[in-house]
Chain A
Amino acid sequence: MNHHGQNGHLNHHVKSRSEGSHFTYDDDSYINKKLPKELVLRIFSFLDVVTLCRCAQVCKTWNLLALDGSNWQRVDLFEFQKDVEGPVVENLSKRCGGFLKSLSLKGCQVITDHALGIFAEQCKNIETLILNNCKKITDATCKSLGQYSHRLRKLDVSSCPNLTDTSLQYISTGCKNLEYIDISWCVLMTDEAVETLSKSCHRISVFICRGLEHITDHGIEQLAINCPNLKKLNVQQCQYVGDEAVAAVSNHCRGLTSLCLSNCTRITDTSLQALGTGCHELRTLEVSGCNHLTDNGFQCLTRNCHELQKMDLEECIQITDTTLAHLASHCHRISALTLSHCELITDEGIRHIGASPSSSESLTVLELDNCPLVTDVGLEHLVNCTSLQRIELYDCQLITRAGIRRLRNRLPNLRVHAYFAPVTPPPSVGGSRQRYCKCCVIL
């Protein structure tokens, strides 16, 4: 239905443009006689930006059809990041108008407020906008977005260091449908921004604010209270976010599936307990560098969150084999486990992982680098993890070549990452080995 409507509009559009040039030679070409414009347009709608621009150079008809807004609903200019300048975006937005739904200007550093102002005015139906690393933009861009882009659902303004709280005020007044927002590394943002945004955009389900020093427990609390649909929260390296924020999140956002608290060094076991009571849907938990966490916290967490799939416990230096035992007995869906720099882990802990009923099906990635107590015996315990694809063993100094070879013999498809030169694969894959060596010689 919708499509029909569009085509009708387009035909009119095309006619009105080519009216003046009735006797142009584009009508001569066979393909244009045989193929109705609607079909050409339909074909074009599958092409990418570069190909469309090539088609636009074929003849006048194709030019009109290729550059028609309907083909330009999703534009990603990331590949041309260095070359994209203001006028490109201005022309693009004039061409696309209301058709444009998704635009990525990731890394286009020279884009300014002016170009984006014109864009916001022209493309009012925009739903997804990625402005990652557009370092020149300021609050003025967000002002025009707030003014025109009422359908905006996903906004990524990470690494735009000039944006301040005012930006999110504009956004919160205009873009009520916002579901996804990424304000990572916008270092001027404070709690106030989070508060105003969350108070008017209740649909937010993904909130990412990595590396913001002005965000504290208060801001995250407000977010949790106002946006109960929160599914994914990433506060990596917000050093003033602590247990209170996590408590609020687990109280209000029961559906949380992904949480990243890496390098939030204030986090303690209290957070893990809170998550255990509130967020039973949790699938991904990243707490690398939270060195206050202990076995007790993980006990509470693992007893209640059985859905956990990915856990990053890098540099949780206090955890011991006990945590791994809990994890093995309660969480049967673990597929990726990072234990880098957990220096108290021993072979016993690895035995628990290896003996877990789920390990053979689900575990695919295990990172054990810089665990100095793990030995070859620990590797022996992993021979049943048949779906294991990658294991990191860098700097586990008690692991020997022989141990790795034994593991590889049992799990031939496993990629073992260690400082040793890669072990020779078993003879069954001799052919690939030959090829591999050839590459080596060429390199």
Chain B
Amino acid sequence: MEDARGRRLFADLNHAFRKDPLIDEYDFLPVTEPQNNASPLLLVEHKLGLELWSVRLLFRYAYNRLMNWRDRNQASVFIDPQELIHLSRAVLMVNPDCYTAWNIRKELIENGDLPLADDLKLGQLILSKFPKSAETFIHRRWLFQRLVNQCLSSSNDSTASADGHQENGGALLCMDGIDIALGPEANALANGIRPEAAAAAVALGEGGRACAALPLESSRLLAENLHHELTVCDRAADSYASNYYAWTHRAWVVRYCFNCSLQVLLGELERTQTWTMKHVSDHSGFHYRQFLLSNLTKHAARLHRQYAKSLSGLVDAEHDFICDLVQSFPSHEALWYHRKFVFHLMMKSAKTYSSEAAATDRVINGELQALHDAVSKNDGQKRSRLESHSPHVLRQREMDAVQKTASQAKEPFQKTLARKYVEWLEKMFPSLKET
């Protein structure tokens, strides 16, 4: 009897997906006993609800059947790929941390039985219920890795041919176009994203375009899904506090799929600002911004050349942002930690800044300044700016600001945090007093 119901529930689930392929969210409804003889699956406006009593039956049926097939316990178990897809879907929707089911799906993808896009969709659906499922993120990384590799092999193969260049652009264009204004160099950047790939393509020479269809398809998929992936991470982070899995995954996407393109880094910096403002006690978001900032630090020169943005300007802006948050939302430790990071970064860049030849600085500064105001008295400003960025001044200013916060704060915890910050400042940057 139990068995029979599981089978039916599985059929019901498949029917629901057939009826509405756009299901984008699901959850378990707290109904522990069947009230009447009605299907426990509710489908309203692309949202699916499963009554709780049915979940166990469904899972047991799908899991046992899948595992029997996997173990070859009964030699007669023959399940065609389509049913395997459905079975693993049912299993994963209840327990997304089932490695075996994910692995079965990986094999199905490799065999060409399961379109990769479908799996991305399933992962997204599962994240709506289990936003912190590590296995789901791991599987998504596998999918993207596969996509990116297919794209790269296509661009390797086809650069040599006549219209190969266009394809190459197509394959890689997906990596830019994030929500910030595109500079004129955007295309140059996009093509420069994977210099090693281009080099390899040149070295390979005639690659032939025999299997161009598959890579083309995958590059289209990649283009469609990469930016969407950031939204998926957004949603996962929204629905579960301190969701480091989501943020780590996001960082991976930026690093691996976008190859840390400056454009994406800048866009992400802007995009996550509102999120962090809304989640002031959640360090995970700030940690992601720290990842973005430290990656931007590595490409300060290119940042300046291509986007006319100075790193110090970005770090300053971040510092202003975090100081503002510290003031507005007292007693949140996460904010203070982020402030520590930002200030540390400021000091680091200030040191390199002051050690650089002042002449080049002046030139760069002059150009920058000329963009903003063409007033001739910028010489004085320049000097003051240079001075204001010396480590000594910075430290003093930070010290004063924090001490002011400490004295003004009404909340005892905010005072403690400010005091700790001062202690940290003194410990980290003691030698600067002499300079």
Which residues from chain A sit less than 8 Å from chain B, CB to CB? 78-79, 81, 106-107, 133, 159, 369, 393-400, 415, 417-422, 440, 443
Q: List B contacts of A419 (CB < 8 A).
A: 5, 8, 34, 37-40, 54
In angstroms, Cα B34 to Cα A95, docked, is 59
Closest 4 CB pairs of A and B: A422-B1, A79-B75, A399-B37, A419-B34
CB distance from B403 to the nearest CB of A (A): 65
**Complex interface: chain A residues within 8 A of B75 (CB):** 78-79
Q: Does B60 contact A (CB under 8 A)?
A: yes
State the CA gap A396–B39 with chains docked (Å). Answer: 9
- Chain B, interface residues (CB within 8 Å), range: 10 to 19
Question: Are A397 and B37 interface neighbours, CB within 8 A?
Answer: yes
- 7 additional A-B pairs beyond A79-B76, A417-B1, beta carbons within 8 Å, are A394-B8, A395-B38, A400-B37, A415-B4, A417-B8, A419-B8, A419-B34
Q: A420 contacts which chain B residues (CB < 8 A)?
A: 34, 37
A398 to B37, CA, bound (A): 7
A168 to B36, CA, bound (A): 53
Considering the chains assembled together, what is the distance between the CA atoms of A421 and B56 in angstroms?
Answer: 12
Residues of A within 8 A of B252 (CB): none
Given known A-B contacts A419-B37, A419-B38, A440 and B4 have beta carbons under 8 A apart? no
Q: List 7 A-B contacts (CB under 8 A).
A: A393-B37, A394-B37, A397-B36, A419-B8, A419-B34, A419-B54, A421-B1
B4 touches A78 (CB 8 A): no
**Quick one: which of B2, B5, B33 contacts A440, CB cutoff 8 A?**
B2
Contacts of A107 in B (CB 8 A): 78
Interface residues of B (CB under 8 A from A): 1-2, 4-5, 8, 33-34, 36-40, 54, 60, 75-76, 78, 80
Given that A107-B78, A415-B1 are contacting pairs, would A397 and B38 also be in contact in the complex, using a CB cutoff of 8 Å? yes
Which residues of chain B have C-beta atoms less than 8 A from A440's C-beta? 2
Residues of chain B within 8 A (CB-CB) of A396 are: 37
Within the complex, the shortest CB–CB distance from B64 to chain A, in Å, comes to: 9
Closest to B9 in A: A419
B43–chain A nearest beta-carbon distance, Å? 13
Contacts of B76 in A (CB 8 A): 78-79
Closest residue of A by beta carbon distance from B74: A79
**Majority DSSP secondary structure for residues of A touching B:** loop
Determine if A106 and B78 form an interchain contact, defined as CB atoms under 8 angstroms apart.
yes
Q: Which residues on the B side are within 8 Å of A397 (C-beta)?
A: 36-38
- Docked pose: A330 CA to B1 CA in angstroms: 34
| B37-A421 in contact (CB<8A) | no
- What is the minimal beta-carbon distance from A414 to any residue of chain B, in angstroms? 11
Bound-state CA distance A81–B80 (Å) is 12
Closest to B1 in A: A422
Bound together, the chains give a CA A287 to CA B36 distance in angstroms of: 30
B78 touches A400 (CB 8 A): no
Bound-complex Cα distance A133 to B5 (A):
30
Name A440's closest neighbour in chain B (CB-CB): B2
The answer on a CB contact under 8 Å between A395 and B2 is no
Report if A417-B78 is in contact (Cβ < 8 Å); known contacts: A397-B36, A399-B37, A400-B36.
Answer: no
Q: How far is the CB of B5 from chain A (nearest CB, A)?
A: 7
Cβ of A398: which chain B residues have Cβ within 8 Å of it?
37
For B37, the chain A residues whose CB sits under 8 A away are: 393-400, 418-420
CB-based contact B2/A417 at 8 Å: no
CA distance A79 to B40 in the complex (A): 37
In the assembled complex, the Cα of A417 lies from the Cα of B57 at a distance in Å of: 14
Q: Of all chain A residues, which has the CB nearest B38?
A: A397
Are A421 and B34 in contact, with the CB atoms below 8 A? yes
For the complex, what is the distance from the CA of A55 to the CA of B344, rounded to whole Å?
76
Query: Which A residues lie within 8 Å of B54 (CB)?
Result: 419
A262 CB, nearest partner CB in chain B, Å: 16
Q: Which residue of A lies closest to B53 (CB)?
A: A421
A400 and B34 alpha carbons, distance in the complex (Å): 11
- Bound CA–CA A90/B80 (angstroms): 26
A336 to B54, CA, bound (A): 28
Smallest CB separation, B402 vs chain A (Å): 61
Bound CA span A79–B77, Å: 9
For B60, give the chain A residue with the smallest CB separation: A443
Nearest CB of chain A from residue B108's CB, rounded to whole Å: 13
B39:A395 contact, CB within 8 angstroms: yes
Quick one: given A415-B4, A417-B4, A443-B60, are A78 and B36 in contact (CB under 8 Å)?
A: no
B4 proximity list for chain A (CB < 8 A): 415, 417
Known contacts A79-B75, A106-B78; A422/B2 CB under 8 A: yes
A111 shortest CB reach to chain B, Å = 15
Chain B residue at smallest Cβ distance from A50: B75
Measured CA separation A422–B38 after assembly (Å): 15
Considering the chains assembled together, what is the distance between the CA atoms of A420 and B4 in angstroms? 11
- Chain B CB within 10 Å — which of A133, A396, A419, A440 has the most? A419
Distance in angstroms from B2 CB to nearest chain A CB is 7
> Which of A79, A133, A395 is in CB contact (< 8 Å) with B80?
A133
Chain B contacts of A106 at CB under 8 A?
A: 78
CA distance in complex: A160, B8 (Å): 30
Measured CA separation A422–B5 after assembly (Å): 9
Shortest beta-carbon distance from B110 to chain A in Å: 13
Q: Please name all residues of chain A whose beta carbon is closer than 8 Å to the beta carbon of B34 when the two chains form the complex.
A: 419-421
Interfacial chain A residues near B2, Cβ < 8 Å:
422, 440, 443
* Nearest CB on B from A32, distance (A): 32
Give the chain B neighbours of A415 by CB distance below 8 A.
1, 4
For residue A397, which residue of chain B has the nearest CB?
B38
Nearest Cβ distance between residue A288 and chain B, in whole angstroms? 14
With a cutoff of 8 Å between Cβ atoms, the chain A residues found around residue B39 in the complex are: 394-395, 419
**With A and B bound together, what is the CA distance between A133 and B80 in angstroms?**
9
Greatest chain B CB density within 10 A among A78, A399, A420 is at A420
Bound CA span A78–B54, Å: 34
Which residue of B5, B33, B36, B40 is within 8 Å of A417 (Cβ)? B5
Chain A residues positioned under 8 Å from B1 (CB to CB)? 415, 417, 421-422
Distance in angstroms between the alpha carbons of A315 and B34 in the assembled complex: 25
Once the chains are docked, how many angstroms separate the CA of A421 from the CA of B32? 11
Residue of B nearest to A109 (CB): B111
Inter-chain CA distance A394–B4, complex, in Å, is 11
Docked CA distance A422–B60 (Å):
16
Residue of B nearest to A398 (CB): B37
User: Complex: how many Å from CA A421 to CA B1?
Assistant: 8
Contacts of B8 in A (CB 8 A): 369, 394, 417, 419
Query: Which of B33, B60, B78 interacts with A78 by CB under 8 Å?
Result: B78
Residue numbers in B under 8 Å from A159 (CB-CB): 80
A133 to B79, CA, bound (A): 11
Q: Which residue of A lies closest to B79 (CB)?
A: A107
Q: For B36, what are the chain A residues with a Cβ–Cβ distance below 8 Å?
A: 397, 400
Task: Output the least CB separation between B431 and chain A (Å).
Answer: 68
How distant is B315 from chain A, measured CB to nearest CB, in Å?
Answer: 57
The closest CB in chain A to the CB of B112 belongs to: A135
C-alpha spacing A397/B37, complex, angstroms:
5
- Shortest Cβ distance from residue A77 to the other chain B in the assembled complex, whole angstroms: 11
Q: What is the distance, in angstroms, from B219's C-beta to the closest C-beta of chain A?
A: 26
Q: Looking at the assembled complex, report how far the CB atom of B75 sits from the nearest CB atom of chain A, in whole angstroms.
A: 4
A429 → B minimal CB distance (Å): 13
A79 vs B74: C-alpha distance when bound (angstroms): 9
Measured between C-beta atoms, what is the minimum distance from B18 to chain A in Å? 13
CA distance A133 to B113 in the complex (A): 13
What residues of B have a CB within 8 angstroms of the CB of A78 in the complex? 75-76, 78
